[in-house]
Amino acid sequence: MEKKITLHDKTFKLYIPNEDIEKAIDEIASKMNRDFSDSTDSHHPIMLCTLNGAVLYAAELLKRLTFPVEFKAMKLSSYEGTQSTGKVKAELPAGIGDLNGKTVIVVEDIVDTGNTIVAMKQLLEEMGVERIVVCTLLLKPEVYKKDVKLDYVAMSIPNRFIVGFGLDYNELGRNIKDIYVLDQ
């Protein structure tokens, strides 16, 4: 029997089990550990988690990183219900600090249209960030048509609406350890 959940008025079926997610995170962390092996306490990247969706991914990734890294978070949103609004709202936290001349690793839960990544890149450039590295758990390649390079992509998926592992449907479903797809 297929595993299903209901959130609000929609039913979702199991799409990516947690074991597959964890394995993909292991692979990304291994690549990042190799690429950032020359980081030091005085010269280290800043991991910038996009709230709320990327929290679980960022936490799991952070546990696996072996190089010095600073952690910060920032609220970005572009979804209402199951659709992207096309407009990105950014809320900078008071404690984000001076990012001028720094390397920032942007941690995203999912990249689909790319509007959030483009807005984030522009904002970080305005703040004087020297190097922007993009790390996403999920990518929808058939809808991502932006020029911003995605440095680390854990998994590519079709353009379907999903929930779980940080992703939500109207704020529900973030706490589910697996990823579910809308059951149409």
What is the set of active-site residues? Answer: 112
Distances (CA, A) of 159 to 71, 100, 113, 141: 30, 36, 10, 8
Which pair of structure tokens corresponds to residue 51?
Answer: 């709230």
Joined tokens for residue 83: 């659709």
The conformation of residue 169, written as its DSSP 8-state character, comes to B
Q: Cα separation of 152 and 40, whole Å?
A: 21
Q: What is the DSSP string of 59-70?
A: HHHHHH--S--E
- 173, with CB counted inside 10 A (0-12, 13-18, 19+), is buried
Indicate the residue type of 48. L
